[in-house]
Amino acid sequence: MQEIYLDNAATTPMSPQVIDVMTSEMKNDFGNASSTYELGRKARHAIDHARSQIAAAINADDNEIIFTSGGSESNNTAIFGVAHSRKEIGRQIITTKIEHPSVLNPMRQLEREGYEVTYLDVDENGHISLDDLKSALTPATILVSVMAVNNEVGSINPLAEIGAIVADSNAYFHVDAVQGLGNIDLDVKKMQIDLLSTSAHKINGPKFLGFLYENKQINLPPLVLGGEQETKRRAGTENVPGIAGFGEAVSEIAAIDKAALQAKYSHWQEMILQALDESNVQYEVNGGRGEHVSHHVLNLHIIGVSTTILQANLDLAGFAVSGGSACTAGSLEPSHVLMACFGKKSPRVNESIRISFGRYNTDEEVVAFAQELCKIAHKVQK
């Protein structure tokens, strides 16, 4: 049975070029990057090159890139770092109700420590109100943390507009760009972003690797203590092959026209929706379909069909899709994103699946998926 992978918001297959770069590094540059002899210097050069590749992709300076174990560590470093280093200025933080658990769980921990966290509401398309953000800001606000692209419904936040609002306050602006990098254009200078988190495995790079962009005017305390790696900002011997692969992955995705990529994903969405219409399947799209959404994510409410049944049947037929965030896939809890968009009692919460495309998917795979989805939905709805 052929397996067709349509869960790229959870993770992506590694690029062949990334594998080649990492394999070469593992074979040839096994030195410790902190060592001063030739093998160490070669490893250091590989890290410095990757850092430059990544910085260029988001219009940052090289020394503003800190390598981490992934998006979760980057988010935790930014959130706890700002909270603990700026608590004398204030103890209010603003975020949204549809953030990733690696943002929401640190926020809940900070609430236990006495911080006040404001969770902004979103509309049915997963977008916040800029007026709500302006109203929530106070002189005691030290951090605003808003994701670039939502991982379940694909909503894109207006980062430049948010950055301009936050720049006029006492707060730093943090962006979880794990789903944004590779799908939308990011410019930390133009968007006035102070801190930005990413993950390599979402852009056809290796797992357990990410970076945190930290504006050079900020000096956060490190989350991981130990040696003096990453100019004393993140301890631990660097994963040289992984970092080299990450740099290659970022360079590849930076060279791709994001508008053309989004157009391809939008076309695939329309193929699926047209098939559902032609088969008279009852469905609703969760989130928007306009310009303020990343089309790599299509979240569908198949009316009357539970997420568990639909996902299981698709799995048996060889199609990998998600019932929500991969980080909560083992949980019986419904999607907090869909609850925030539509309410806890909405049937969408327990009758939706997430399809997410990647640059290695094909028209043929999407057609095959659409046919199988219609077949299963038609059978169960009857």
The answer to whether residue 329 scores a pLDDT higher than 50 is no
Any idea what the CATH number is for the domain that residue 72 is in?
A: 3.40.640.10
Is there a single domain that holds both residue 261 and residue 236?
no
Is there a single domain that holds both residue 204 and residue 308?
no
When pLDDT is averaged across residues 266-276 and rounded to a whole number, the result is: 98
Per-residue model confidence as pLDDT tens digits over 50-82: 999 999 999 999 999 999 999 999 999 999 999
Is there a single domain that holds both residue 9 and residue 28?
no
Q: Percent of the chain at pLDDT above 90?
A: 93
- Going along the chain, which residue ranges are E strands? 4-5, 65-68, 92-96, 116-120, 141-145, 172-176, 195-199, 210-214, 283-286, 297-302, 319-320, 352-356
Any idea what the CATH number is for the domain that residue 263 is in?
A: 3.90.1150.10
Select from 254, 275, 309 the last residue of a domain: 254
d(Cα 347, Cα 352) in Å, to the nearest integer?
9
What's the Cα-to-Cα distance from 18 to each of 22, 25, 217, 227, rounded to whole Å? 6, 11, 32, 28
For CA atoms 249, 250, 256, 261, give the dihedral sign.
positive
- Which pTM does this prediction carry? 0.96
CA dihedral 353→354→358→362, nearest 10 degrees, is 30
Is there a single domain that holds both residue 136 and residue 152?
yes
Select from 195, 229, 254 the last residue of a domain: 254
Rg of the chain on CA atoms, in Å? 21
Q: Which of 84-93, 142-151, 214-223, 327-336 has the lowest mean pLDDT?
A: 327-336
Q: Are 152 and 294 in contact (CB under 8 A)?
A: no
Select from 237, 254, 271 the last residue of a domain: 254
Concerning whether 341 is annotated as a catalytic residue, the answer is: no
- How many structural domains does the chain have? 2
Is there a single domain that holds both residue 173 and residue 97?
yes
Per-residue model confidence as pLDDT tens digits over 241-257: 999 999 999 999 999 99
Is there a single domain that holds both residue 58 and residue 150?
yes
Residue numbers of the domain that contains 339 = 4-13+257-381
The answer to whether residue 327 scores a pLDDT higher than 60 is no
Query: Any long-range contacts for 20-28 (C-beta under 8 Å, 24+ apart)?
Result: 21/241, 21/244, 21/245, 21/247, 21/248, 22/206, 22/241, 22/242, 22/244, 22/245, 23/241, 25/240, 25/241, 25/244, 25/245, 26/241
Q: Exactly one of 327, 367, 368, 380 is catalytic; which is it?
A: 327
